[in-house]
Amino acid sequence: MKKLLLLVVLAGIGYVVYRQIAARKAEQDLWSEATTDPDLR
């Protein structure tokens, strides 16, 4: 039972870390798009 609880806790932590990394990348992509020069071709 303790092993299952540990597995669930570790999976939850992994999910939170994954969400934070994805949010940080999305914000970085947004800033990158907002601060680049427009393509006026």
Q: How confident is the model at residue 40 (pLDDT cuts 50, 70, 90)?
A: confident
In a domain, 33, yes or no: no
| Residue ranges making up the domain that contains 12 | 1-26
Q: Provide the pLDDT for residue 12.
A: 98
Quickly list DSSP for 14-38. HHHHHHHHHHHHHHHHHHHHHHSPP
Q: What is the pTM of this model?
A: 0.70
Supply angle C-alpha 22, 17, 25, rounded to 5: 20
Interval 11-37: pLDDT, tens: 999 999 999 999 999 999 999 988 888
Q: Provide the pLDDT for residue 23.
A: 98
Q: Provide the pLDDT for residue 36.
A: 87
Structural domains of the chain, count: 1
In a domain, 21, yes or no: yes
In a domain, 31, yes or no: no
User: In angstroms, what is the C-alpha Rg of the chain?
Assistant: 18
Tokens 């798009």 locate to 33
